[in-house]
Chain A
Amino acid sequence: MSPSFQPSVKYQKQLKRDLAAEILATPGGEKIYSCLQCGTCGGSCPLSGYMDFTPRQLIGMVREGFKQEVIESFSIWLCASCYECTVRCPAGIHVTDVMYALKRVAIREGIYPRRFPVPVLAKEFMRMLKSTGRTNEFWLAFKMLVKTTPLKLLTMWPLGLQMLRRGRLCLTFNRIPKPAGESLRQMLESVGERQ
């Protein structure tokens, strides 16, 4: 098949600056306009080989207002929070925090494929934490699989059985005691969603 060369051009009016403003207001993201576009972040990222845009490109695109392309990219979900980029960035940009912020925007705006595991896991994690104060990895994995790829449960049971045999599968929730749990819930509520 021969390649097709289709230039995609965006004009000023189509660019969205609100994403850059949000990143600037994020602890760790305030220096994105000092980015040198040196590529150290992508060069040190163990996941960049699987990304559609490298972290460097994402930061450039955020700055220039290519919000849609950034939020729709696969890259933001591939970030594993390894902090390689953050410790190496010569401009002091906390690239990992920028990646978290991009995930937050995509989750808030619901821009991800249906049944896509990363946001499903993050949301289940939050829900469980709010209700018990702690997380239970077995139920977390179970709920995520049910909501994303239920068929995988069929292939996962040998591992589950192994864990069970070794006393490493914990079926009961590990709750923090009631009064403390209630006060934690109040704190989370009062700090509120992002304004």
Chain B
Amino acid sequence: MAYTYFPGCCMHGFARHCQDSLYAVFNALGLELRELKDWNCCGATSYIAVDEYQAFTLAARNLALAEQAGLEVVAPCNACFMVLKKAQDYLARYSNLRERIEAALARGGLQYSGTVQVRHPLEIVIEKIGIKALREKVKRPLKGWNVAPYYGCLLTRPYTLRNGMTLEAFDQLIPALGANLVDFELKDRCCGGSLTGTIEEVGDRLVYILLHEAKRHNADVLVTVCPLCQLNVETHQKQFIRRDREDVNIPVPYFTQLIGLALGIPEKDLGLDRLLVPLDRVLEEHPAELRAAA
């Protein structure tokens, strides 16, 4: 299966490790990613705070380019994923918006008829590979690891997932990799988004609540599906440890890094050394027990 890959700016910047592991895992699972040619920034949640029509144009241009490529689009950042889906929904629902955006696209010789499917890589793994098949592919079960899932806001808000998929279905990924699933009620709570950089006191507070609760639930690892959540939750730990003397140290890998480890993909291909809070301690406490893949 081949997909059009919409990396978004993060994956080419601070989230290189997420991208490395995404490619490695998709490759191992026989899923091909073809980067969208000439993609532009989706506009995230900032651009629309200045100009809404331009913001929708940004998303629509990517959709139009993807439509030409003719494949489903994989967007590994929750913000890109939601923004592209929202543009699709609003263009279909609001005709005056659509007319303006269509005219703008036409200036660049593009058109968009609304046929693109935007997917998150987690959806693809669960739907196309499936929990059962994934379990059978595991070579290095993450035995003894207590893993809490953290999905963030935009994966399921404002749009629900396709084909009746739920976060509870996604949770099953964790036991499939051989780890213990930590029941984490805050799994779709906000990480603060860009507030951690703008109104820091408040943004930090949201990150802190996540970390504190993950620790309280005895999680060894908090696994993320969004490079922005990943960065937020990872970079602020030191300061809580130093300032508040609370041990909130917890590794926050991107989900394909965990899948990759369990599949036995070499650590260097998964960008584990790029994590600010390394997985080393967990890896030492739970030495690998290799098992022949079924």
Binding site for B on A (CB under 8 A): 26-28, 46-47, 50, 77-78, 80-84, 86-87, 94, 96, 100-101, 103-104, 107, 117-119, 121-123, 125-126, 129, 133-138, 141, 144, 159, 162-163, 166-170, 174, 176-177, 180, 183-184, 186-188, 190-194
Closest to A127 in B: B50
Question: Would you give the shortest CB distance from A154 to chain B, in whole angstroms?
Answer: 15
Number of interface residues of B (CB under 8 A): 61
A-B contact count (CB 8 A): 178
Question: Would you give the shortest CB distance from B158 to chain A, in whole angstroms?
Answer: 4
Structural contact, A159 and B50, CB atoms closer than 8 A: no
Encode B193-225 as 1/0 by CB contact (under 8 A) with A: 111011100110010000000000000000000
Structural contact, A107 and B50, CB atoms closer than 8 A: yes
Pick 18 A–B contacts, CB within 8 A, sort by A: A77-B199, A83-B158, A87-B158, A104-B51, A107-B50, A117-B198, A121-B46, A125-B44, A134-B12, A136-B9, A159-B235, A166-B273, A166-B274, A166-B275, A168-B16, A184-B108, A187-B104, A190-B107
Question: Would you give the shortest CB distance from B153 to chain A, in whole angstroms?
Answer: 4
The complex places the Cα of A146 from the Cα of B249 at a distance, in Å, of: 30
Structural contact, B190 and A190, CB atoms closer than 8 A: no
Pick from A27, A101, A192: contact of B93, CB below 8 A: A27
Stretch at the interface among B94-102, B132-140, B142-150, B168-176: B94-102
Structural contact, A176 and B193, CB atoms closer than 8 A: no
Closest to A86 in B: B158
The complex places the Cα of A194 from the Cα of B194 at a distance, in Å, of: 25
- For window 76-115 of B, CB contacts with A under 8 Å fall at 82, 90, 93-94, 97, 100-101, 103-105, 107-109
Pick from B45, B53, B107: contact of A194, CB below 8 A: B53
Structural contact, B14 and A78, CB atoms closer than 8 A: no
